[in-house]
Amino acid sequence: MAALGAVALGAGLLLWLLPALLGLAGGTTPEVASVLAAAGRPPVTLRVPGTDTPLLGRALEFQRVTVAEAGTDRARAVSTLDFEGGFGSVRVSSLGRETTQFRRAMAGWGLEGSLAPTLVAAVAALSARRSALQSADVPALSQLVRPEDRERALADPTLQSLLAHPERNGAIQAWYLRFEAGEITVTEDVGEPVRSHRLRLVPRELGALEFVFAGSLL
């Protein structure tokens, strides 16, 4: 029994040290890729700023991973992420480019911050919009639209009607996100029977990991 316990302990230690061993054997890229793959094993819980509701990942696949070091103790992995999960009762499906940050510790490279920061930032914007629509909070909605589109978006007759009677808008069923050059397109399914419409998210500022809506809120 003691021998079996020692074997189990050794196997656990090896699993814990595997990323570091991979780093010694082949450099930063295989080690970071290993940590990324391990962190992405579902189920995955991702914290979304501005809400207590987590983004839950049921299926995640990181592909085309490239790793760049920044100094001796930091690195970033750029990849494509195919994501399936849920945000409360809302189904979330996403396909796009992701950048994940890492920091070197005693045991090797480890995740720093969110596993999927770009996806999380997009869901945060969608969540804030949903809350503002439900509460008819016009000032909050105003801050969620890029300045050049703000006046036109808020004057939309359909939006005005919805804000007057928010209970008439059905529950959001799903968000389907696709990352494109400079923006994220979102197909939103609402109500029963389902109605679909298209939204556009763009960075609030160049290079910022915070999104606002372009063109329209609906």
Domain boundaries, the chain: 1-218
pLDDT of residue 17: 45
pLDDT in tens, 38-94: 999 999 999 999 999 999 999 999 999 999 988 889 999 999 999 999 999 999 999
Tell which wins on pLDDT, 69 or 119.
119
Given pLDDT bands bounded at 50, 70 and 90, which one contains residue 18?
very low
Given pLDDT bands bounded at 50, 70 and 90, which one contains residue 150?
very high
* Residue whose token pair is 């054997």: 25
Residue 10 scores a pLDDT above 70: no
Pair of tokens at residue 126: 């969608």
Residue 27 scores a pLDDT above 50: yes
Residues above pLDDT 70, as percent of the chain: 88
pLDDT of residue 101: 96
pLDDT of residue 63: 94
For 198-218, what is the mean pLDDT? 94
Contact at 8 Å (CB) between 95 and 177? yes
pLDDT of residue 111: 94
Whose CA is closest to 60, among 39, 77, 84, 80?
Answer: 84
Given pLDDT bands bounded at 50, 70 and 90, which one contains residue 169?
confident
> Mean pLDDT, the chain, as a whole number?
88
Given pLDDT bands bounded at 50, 70 and 90, which one contains residue 214?
very high
Measure the CA–CA gap between 145 and 141, rounded to whole angstroms.
7
Measure the CA–CA gap between 182 and 184, rounded to whole angstroms.
7
Q: How far is CA 93 from CA 13, 49, 81, 87, 121, in A?
A: 36, 19, 10, 10, 14
